[in-house]
């Protein structure tokens, strides 16, 4: 992708996702993800209806009339986007590939975060750590994240979510809002997820294509594993083959749901040809 084409794609995603974050997600994001707690703001005169537990007795005694302490939410948070860039994300049978939807969702979340004056960071992973961008504020920083999501080429085609989660635990010392965007075609990551879930507010966003859920009946078809490169001839007319594929797929989805639930984390499932806007909004509202 040349520079001109890249800038055009970045601008297109910015316009679409910024409009969503401006008009739809910023309020939902703010109420869904709370700050670290309440911090002291000021002292003011007591007003009818104020909680008597907030009276500042020292100031009240000094001025001989009641004053109360005012607290406000300590809002500033850090969002980390953990994005799977393994080869299986380069799949899609509709108008968009999974990695393109991932870029849009990531941009929407990032713009929502900076509107609330939060920092945003990025971790790209395959079966290793491909890129880490430290959390920062500002539009130019988010645009850099979008550029990397669109342009970055990973060294490996495989996936290892466990290694990515362990890396996050090491680099993120303070609590963060963590979104993991992947198709979650991996296993044995439940223990690493539990550790991250104890410290951070984690949500797994599973992006999938409708033709990954089951094999259509179209005869003998050569199929290649995107991550291993292995090609096998599959008889899609065989009922047992289609059933086995379906069982394996459902097992992967069940493992994803179960692992996130046990770690106290949230999940979103969105198909490439579905509206991720509705899925995100529904998730934010359920958290309120």
**Tens digit of each residue's pLDDT (9 = 90 or more) over 262-281:** 999 999 999 998 999 999 98
Q: How far apart are CA 51 and CA 41, in angstroms?
A: 16
How many structural domains does the chain have?
2
Q: Do 174 and 52 sit in the same domain of this protein?
A: no
Last residue of a domain, one of 73, 96, 131: 73
Instruction: Give pLDDT, residue 41.
Output: 60
Residue 228 resides in a domain: no
CATH code of the domain in which 110 resides? 3.40.50.410
Instruction: Give pLDDT, residue 193.
Output: 98
Instruction: Give pLDDT, residue 214.
Output: 83
Q: Do 65 and 184 sit in the same domain of this protein?
A: no
Cα-Cα-Cα-Cα torsion 11, 202, 84, 132, nearest 10 degrees, comes to 70
Q: Could you report the per-residue pLDDT of 173-189, keeping only the tens digit for each? A: 888 999 999 999 999 99
Per-residue pLDDT band at 226 (split at 50, 70, 90): low
Residue 243 resides in a domain: no
Q: Do 191 and 130 sit in the same domain of this protein?
A: yes
Per-residue pLDDT band at 88 (split at 50, 70, 90): confident
Last residue of a domain, one of 16, 50, 73: 73
Q: Do 66 and 199 sit in the same domain of this protein?
A: no
Q: Do 67 and 94 sit in the same domain of this protein?
A: no
Q: Do 89 and 67 sit in the same domain of this protein?
A: no
Q: Do 140 and 64 sit in the same domain of this protein?
A: no
Q: In the predicted model, what is the mean pLDDT of residues 56-83?
A: 84
Q: Do 125 and 114 sit in the same domain of this protein?
A: yes
Residue 104 resides in a domain: yes
Question: Alpha-carbon Rg of the chain, whole angstroms?
Answer: 23
Q: Percent of the chain beyond pLDDT 90?
A: 49
**Residue 142 pLDDT exceeds 90:** yes
Residue 236 resides in a domain: no
Q: How far apart are CA 184 and CA 118, in angstroms?
A: 27
Structure tokens of 124? Answer: 């790209």
- Evaluate if pTM is beyond 0.85: no
Q: How far apart are CA 189 and CA 15, in angstroms?
A: 35
Q: Is the dihedral of CA 110, 113, 115, 117 positive or negative?
A: negative
Structure tokens of 285? Answer: 């509202």
Q: Which of 36-40, 89-93, 223-227 has the weakest average pLDDT? A: 36-40
Task: Name residues whose C-beta falls within 8 Å of residue 134's C-beta, 6 or more positions apart in sequence.
Answer: 121
Q: What is the mean pLDDT of the chain?
A: 87
Instruction: Give pLDDT, residue 242.
Output: 87
Residue 151 resides in a domain: yes
Q: In the predicted model, what is the mean pLDDT of residues 118-147?
A: 95
Instruction: Give pLDDT, residue 269.
Output: 97
Residue 150 resides in a domain: yes
Domain with 62, as residue range(s), is: 38-73
Q: Do 197 and 283 sit in the same domain of this protein?
A: yes
Instruction: Give pLDDT, residue 34.
Output: 65
Q: Do 44 and 146 sit in the same domain of this protein?
A: no
Residue 258 resides in a domain: no
Q: Do 201 and 128 sit in the same domain of this protein?
A: yes
Residue 235 resides in a domain: no
Q: Do 66 and 179 sit in the same domain of this protein?
A: no
**Residue 72 pLDDT exceeds 60:** no
Per-residue pLDDT band at 35 (split at 50, 70, 90): low
């Amino acid at each position: 992708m040349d520079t001109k084409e890249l800038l055009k794609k970045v601008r297109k995603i910015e316009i679409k996702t910024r409009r969503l974050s401006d008009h739809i997600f910023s309020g939902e994001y703010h109420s869904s993800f709370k700050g670290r707690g309440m911090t002291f703001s000021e002292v003011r005169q007591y007003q009818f209806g104020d909680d008597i537990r907030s009276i500042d007795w020292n100031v009240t005694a000094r001025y001989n009339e009641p004053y109360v302490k005012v607290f406000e939410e300590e809002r500033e948070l850090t969002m980390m986007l953990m994005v799977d860039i393994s080869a299986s994300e380069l799949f899609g049978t509709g108008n968009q590939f999974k990695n393109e939807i991932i870029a849009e969702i990531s941009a929407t979340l990032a713009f929502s975060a900076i509107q609330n004056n939060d920092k945003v960071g990025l971790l790209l992973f395959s079966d290793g750590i491909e890129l880490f961008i430290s959390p920062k504020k500002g539009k130019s920083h988010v645009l850099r994240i979008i550029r990397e999501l669109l342009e970055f080429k990973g060294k490996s085609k495989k996936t290892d979510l466990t290694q990515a989660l362990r890396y996050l635990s090491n680099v993120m010392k303070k609590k963060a809002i963590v979104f993991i965007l992947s198709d979650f075609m991996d296993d044995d990551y439940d223990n690493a997820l539990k550790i991250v879930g104890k410290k951070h507010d984690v949500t797994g966003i599973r992006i999938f294509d409708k033709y990954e859920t089951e094999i259509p009946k179209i005869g003998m078809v050569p199929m290649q594993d995107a991550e291993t490169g292995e090609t096998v001839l599959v008889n899609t007319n065989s009922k047992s083959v289609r059933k086995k594929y379906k069982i394996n797929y459902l097992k992967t989805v069940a493992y994803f749901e179960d692992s996130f639930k046990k770690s106290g984390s949230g999940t979103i499932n969105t198909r490439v040809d579905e509206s991720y806007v509705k899925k995100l909004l529904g998730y934010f509202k359920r958290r309120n």
